[in-house]
Amino acid sequence: MTMYFANFDQLIAMGGHGVYVWSAFAVTVAAMLWLAVAPVIKHRALLNDIQRDSQRNRQRQRDSQRQDQNQQAGQSAAVSNATTDSPSNQSEEDF
Amino acid sequence: MARQMDSGFLAWLRRDLLLAWRRRGEVASPVLFFIMVSTLIPLGLTPESTRLAEVAAGMVWVMALLATLLSVDGLFASDYQDGSLEQMLITPQLLPLPVLGKITAHWLTTGLPLTLVSPLLGLMLSLPAAGFIPLLWSLALGTACLSLIGAVGAALTVSLRKGGLLLTLLVMPLYMPVIIFGSASVSYAIDGINWLPPLAVLGALCAAAVALCPLAVAGALRATASN
Amino acid sequence: MNLFSDWTWFHRLGSPRWFYQNSGRWLPWLSVVTLVVLATGLVWGLAFAPADAKQGNSFRIIYIHVPASFLALAGYYIMAIAGAVGLIWKMKLSYMVMKSAAPIGAVLTFIALFTGAVWGKPTWGTYWVWDARITSMLILLFLYAGVMALQYAYHSVDAASKAGAILALVGTVNIPIIYKSVDWWYTLHQPATIKLTSAPSMHPDMFQPLLVMIAGFYLFYALVLILQTRNEILRRERNTSWVRELAAAKMTTNTIANEAKSE
């Protein structure tokens, strides 16, 4: 099997149709690369995000436990408790 | 059994016609749109009647399509807002029948007036005389198709706040066959060819749409509007 | 027989967790095979296949145009079938496949349109003609855009999935009608100046790289669909314990690797 073109310059020129052929292939390769690479990057970001989320939740759980203990110890933590129980926190915690 | 199936269709047809009668001004706006946009065509294109005659059939069809698209957005909107759509979803009747009743009412209040007004537009755009009868027939059948297909889009977007623009995007590609055969039957007649075949295809499309679209609308309403 | 009497395989296939874990094992192999096949086809088609007698070298665009068009259309059916499976069997995974298939199909449709336009310039002297196939392709792009827009419009995942599936099914019923009507419309209005001849019977030397490219595009489609579906699984199942454990495990291995590198 031999190459159709005699040399590299002819391959680039494509008998005068080089602009069309190479631009079509370049755009296609770029679009397909984007299709393949974007989900890989997104996958890593998602895993990072989920990990950070669950860490934050665990932290919050620990905090609220400590607060409960403080309350049992007789300290009046009513004010701080009201601030941590805001609705935005509750909507995020669904476990 | 037959009576029960009837009642779903007729009750919603009667109700929607009555509502349309009470909101006559609102219902008339697609027809007004249809007429007013047609004055833009000579302004934008040419006042020459020979050149207008060439594009008249297609233009009337495109405008009828746009006018239907404008009105189909509101097909389920007010029912969704006042909760009567919820009522329709929980009735024991087969859901496609009330849906078909609503679509029929929509066609009677927009598609039919558009069809009846179209000869006037044909005159203004100097449509050749041979095109008038096919225009009436193709619009009558075609607007029914447009209402039926548009209802699927309206059902899919009814619970969205900005559904109107999305509805256009969803429905427009599905309208292509209707406009192709509708305007073809008019141009066939103008060219002196037998214009019944494209009209027959339009009738077939309409029959298929009557059978399938209410099912799709019912599925879409159950999927999106019930929560 | 056991396959049909016992439906557990079907339910296991529908489990996002099962899919995620197994696809992770196949992915490296699939990506290597895809890359090799695509690279072979590209080099073969660009440099080794003979030029067309009439069109010269511009015909080489066929090696991306035809496979992209194939997959653009097949992708719509894959999306619609996935949506139908979701509607009938209430399978969560298949809704995720449906959502992932839409943007991939749209990009492939765009590639088919773009390469067709670029190919049209040297062959017919114009980038765009209202030819039946081109017009149908454009409508297909609109259909994809509709499904994608509907997916993004809903906040509720459940409503978005079902609405998208219904729209995809309506589109599937319509695609043959649209194609036939556009075909008929084109024969009615065919302009005399531009004559589109159907592809001439291809020489095997030209045809073989095309087959390789078509196979490569199918593999590529499968690969990207799996990648996107895995992301969608993570997005929708992010509150389940298995995803959290997975994320935690991934992160610790990464940090250990980083520490090892810094030392």
- Cα separation, C98 vs C85, in Å, equals 10
Percent of chain A scored above 70 by pLDDT?
A: 75
**What pLDDT is recorded for position A92?**
38
On whether residue C4 sits in a domain, the answer given is no
In 10 A of CB A30, how many CB atoms?
A: 11
Q: From C39, which residue of chain A is nearest by alpha-carbon distance?
A: A29
| Closest residue, chain A, to C248 (C-alpha) | A51
* CB-CB neighbors (< 8 A) of C132 in chain B: none
CB contact under 8 A, C119 and A20: yes
- Yes or no, beta carbons of B159 and C185 under 8 Å apart: no
- The per-residue pLDDT for C195 is 45
What pLDDT, on a 0 to 100 scale, did the predictor assign at position A90?
39
B187 vs A62, B119, C146, C184, CA distance in Å?
76, 15, 31, 14
Residue B54, pLDDT score: 86
> Under a CB-based contact definition with an 8 Å cutoff, are residues B142 and B178 in contact?
yes
The reply to whether B172 touches chain C by the CB within 8 Å rule is yes
Stretch A8-12: mean pLDDT, rounded? 77
Of the two residues A91 and C3, the one the predictor is more confident about is: C3
Contact B220, B88 (CB under 8 A): no
Q: What was the pLDDT predicted at B138?
A: 95
User: In the numeric block, which tokens belong to residue B32?
Assistant: 């007004």
Range(s) of the domain holding residue C156? 27-239
ipTM, two decimals: 0.87
Tens-of-pLDDT digits for all 263 residues of chain C?
455 555 666 666 678 888 998 898 989 999 999 999 999 999 998 888 887 777 778 888 889 999 999 999 999 999 999 999 999 988 889 999 999 999 999 999 999 999 999 988 888 888 888 877 888 899 999 999 999 999 989 888 889 999 999 999 999 988 888 888 888 887 766 554 444 454 556 677 888 899 999 999 999 999 999 999 999 999 998 888 888 888 888 777 766 666 666 65
Closest CA in chain C for residue B204: C177
pLDDT at A81 over 60: no
Question: Does residue C185 lie within any of the structural domains?
Answer: yes
Which residue in this structure is represented by tokens 């706006």? B29
- Supply the Cα-derived Rg of chain B in whole angstroms: 18
Given this model, what pLDDT does residue C238 score? 86
pLDDT for the residue B227: 55
Q: Which of C156, C167, C188 sits opposite B156 (nearest CB)?
A: C167
Choice between A89 and C262, residue whose per-residue pLDDT is larger: C262
Q: Which residues of A touch C49 (CB under 8 A)?
A: 4
- For residue C252, being part of any structural domain is answered with no
Number of domains in chain C: 1
Q: Compute the distance between CA of residue B206 and CA of residue B203 in angstroms, rounded to an integer.
A: 5
Q: In angstroms, rounded to a whole number, what is the distance separating the alpha carbons of residues A93 and A63?
A: 14
* C-chain residue closest to A4, CA distance: C48
Residues forming a β-bridge with C56 = C52
Q: In chain B, what is the straight-line distance between the N-terminal and C-terminal CA atoms, in Å?
A: 30
Q: For residues C99 and A44, what is the distance between their CA atoms, to the nearest angstrom?
A: 20
Name, in order, each residue with C-beta under 8 angstroms of B15's C-beta and a sequence gap of 6 or more.
Answer: B105
Alpha carbon distance B103, B217 (integer Å):
10
In the three-class reduction of DSSP (H, G, I as helix; E, B as strand; rest coil), residue A4 is classed as coil
The region, left, alpha or beta by phi > 0 then psi within -120 to 50, assigned to residue C125 is left
Please list the residues that pair with C52 across neighbouring strands.
C56
Confirm whether C246 is domain-assigned: no
Q: For chain B, which residues make up each domain, given as ranges?
A: 2-224
> Over 90: is that where the pLDDT of A56 sits?
no
DSSP of chain B, one letter per residue? -HHHHHHHHHHHHHHHHHHHHHTHHHHHHHHHHHHHHHHHHHHHS-S-HHHHHHHHHHHHHHHHHHHHHHHHTTTTHHHHHHTHHHHHHHSSS-THHHHHHHHHHHIIIIIHHHHHHHHHHHHHTT--GGGHHHHHHHHHHHHHHHHHHHHHHHHHHTTSTTHHHHHHHHHHHHHHHHHHHHHHHHHHHHTTS--HHHHHHHHHHHHHHHHHHHHHHHHHHHHHT--
Q: Which long-range contacts (CB under 8 A, 24 or more apart) does B205-212 make?
A: B205/B145, B205/B177, B205/B178, B205/B181, B205/C177, B206/B141, B206/B142, B206/B144, B206/B145, B206/B148, B209/B144, B209/B145, B209/B148, B209/B149, B210/B100, B210/B144, B210/B148, B212/C173
pLDDT for the residue numbered A94: 37
What are chain A's partners, defined as 3 or more CB pairs within 8 angstroms?
A: C
Residue C200 main-chain phi, psi, to 5 deg: -65, 155
Interchain proximity C174–B174, CB inside 8 Å: yes
Q: Residue A12 — pLDDT band, cuts 50, 70, 90?
A: confident
**Which residues from chain C sit within 8 angstroms of residue A25, using beta carbons?**
42, 46, 61, 64
The answer to whether the CB atoms of C58 and A27 lie below 8 A apart is: no
One pLDDT digit (tens) per residue for chain B, 227 residues? 455 556 688 888 999 999 988 888 888 888 999 988 888 888 888 888 888 888 888 899 999 999 999 899 888 988 888 888 888 888 777 888 889 999 999 999 999 999 999 999 999 888 999 999 999 999 999 999 999 999 999 999 998 877 788 999 999 999 999 999 999 999 899 988 899 999 999 999 999 999 999 999 999 998 887 65
Report pLDDT for A91.
Answer: 39
Q: How far apart are CA C95 and CA C83, in angstroms?
A: 6
Q: What is the pLDDT of residue C206?
A: 81
Nearest of B150, B152, B134 to residue B195 by alpha carbon: B134
Asked if chain B contacts chain A via 3 or more Cβ pairs within 8 Å, the reply is no
Nearest to A17 by CA among C116, C55, C54: C55
Q: Is residue A79 over pLDDT 60?
A: no
Whole-number pLDDT of residue B62: 92
